[in-house]
Amino acid sequence: MAEDVSLLAQASMYYKSDGNSTALEATKRMCKIVKIRYYQTQNPTPNMKRWENKIDIICNDY
């Protein structure tokens, strides 16, 4: 879970710092994939809920 958030944050920062369109598309795809994965979890742990908040913050820009 932490790895997903870390990769998502890195892609987002790469796009924001460089304006790279490939990074933008990668970030959008990652937001969709990660959100689907976490929202479909039947019994999310408290840790998952904490990470979910971070994902929402990052993905709100996309």
On whether residue 14 sits in a domain, the answer given is no
On whether residue 11 sits in a domain, the answer given is no
On whether residue 53 sits in a domain, the answer given is yes
Does the pLDDT of residue 2 top 80, yes or no?
Answer: no
State the distance between the two ends of the chain, measured CA to CA, in whole angstroms.
20
On whether residue 32 sits in a domain, the answer given is yes
Answer yes or no: are the C-beta atoms of 27 and 11 closer than 8 Å: yes
Structural domain of residue 31, as residue ranges? Answer: 2-6+19-59
Q: Which comes out higher in pLDDT, residue 2 or 34?
A: 34
Q: How far apart are CA 27 and CA 16, in angstroms?
A: 11
On whether residue 12 sits in a domain, the answer given is no
Give the chain's domain count. 1
Residue with tokens 């979910």: 52
What digits encode the pLDDT tens for the residues 6-46? Answer: 888 888 888 888 887 888 888 899 899 888 888 888 888 88
Q: Amino acid letter at 59?
A: C
